Amino acid sequence: MRVDRCFAFIDLCGFSAYTERNGDEEAVSVLSMMRSVVRRAADRRGVRVMKWLGDGVMLSGAERGAVAAAALEIRHHLGGACPLEVRVGICRGAALVFDGDDYVGTVINVAARLCDKAAPGQLLMAEHPDATVPPWAVVRPFGIVEVAGLTRPLAVQEIDMRVDGDARPVMDPVCGLPIDPSVAVAPAGEEAVHLRCFCSAECAEHWGRASARRVQRVA
């Protein structure tokens, strides 16, 4: 059976050299940090951790923009705490479901190859009509890329945070991302400007549920 999915490969840059310089204990600490950040972001964005790949991870998602959102969130949080940068390759398309819980197909190979081609801190995504990004992200042309295994070159885009140079970003209190205020959202039914501080309806709903629990505990 074939299904439409978005896949991402995320890799810690320079991990082997870091391990050689700093030893196994430091290396394990970095891996633990990375995996903790990945799990939290994947859970929040509705993205599945398909498999851990040593100093990397493979993600998959069905929702439009969810994988890109998770990857940007992971890069943001690791950028403030991890000594190594990440690079990301993303591709959306049809994949074959294999053995019940695994996927195979060109789309997965392309995501892995784009991760290999990405520079430290860079997110590369193959162009696709449904390979969307969240409204607080921006897509820029990267160029035409030769990918091993494909007969034709591939149009590739670079994904980054959307930041208005004239506006001070607001900090999403749930996921911690700095969000351009022009695309920030408020919880459903709220009109107050100061509540427009969430990157997505999902984060706003999470905040609303947490607030309700706090009120119940106080009562």
Q: Which class is domain 2-161? A: alpha beta
Per-residue pLDDT at 102: 78
Q: What's the pLDDT tens digit per position in 101-111?
A: 778 888 899 99
State the DSSP code for 149: T
Q: Please state the rounded mean pLDDT for residues 75-90.
A: 90
Neighbours of 165 (CB within 10 A): 4
Q: Please state the rounded mean pLDDT for residues 102-126.
A: 91
Model confidence band, residue 218 (pLDDT cutoffs 50, 70, 90): very low
Domain ranges of the chain: 2-161, 170-218
Q: What's the pLDDT tens digit per position in 89-98?
A: 999 988 888 7
Task: Give whole-number Cα distances, 149 to 18, 95, 153, 184, in Å.
Answer: 31, 16, 10, 40
Per DSSP, the residues of 174-217 read TT--EE-TTT-B--TT---GGG--BSSHHHHHHHHHHHHHHHHH
Cα–Cα distance measured from residue 170 to residue 184, given in angstroms and rounded to the nearest whole number: 8
- What's the mean pLDDT when you consider all of the chain? 87
N-term to C-term CA, the chain: 51
Per-residue pLDDT at 3: 82
Per-residue pLDDT at 165: 64
Model confidence band, residue 210 (pLDDT cutoffs 50, 70, 90): low
Q: Please state the rounded mean pLDDT for residues 148-163.
A: 86
Long-range Cβ contacts of 102-111 (<8 Å, 24+ apart): 102/50, 103/3, 103/5, 103/7, 103/50, 103/60, 105/2, 106/149, 106/150, 107/5, 107/7, 108/7, 108/58, 109/147, 109/149, 110/147, 110/150, 110/154, 111/7, 111/8, 111/9
Q: Please state the rounded mean pLDDT for residues 100-128.
A: 90
Q: What's the pLDDT tens digit per position in 52-63?
A: 998 999 999 988
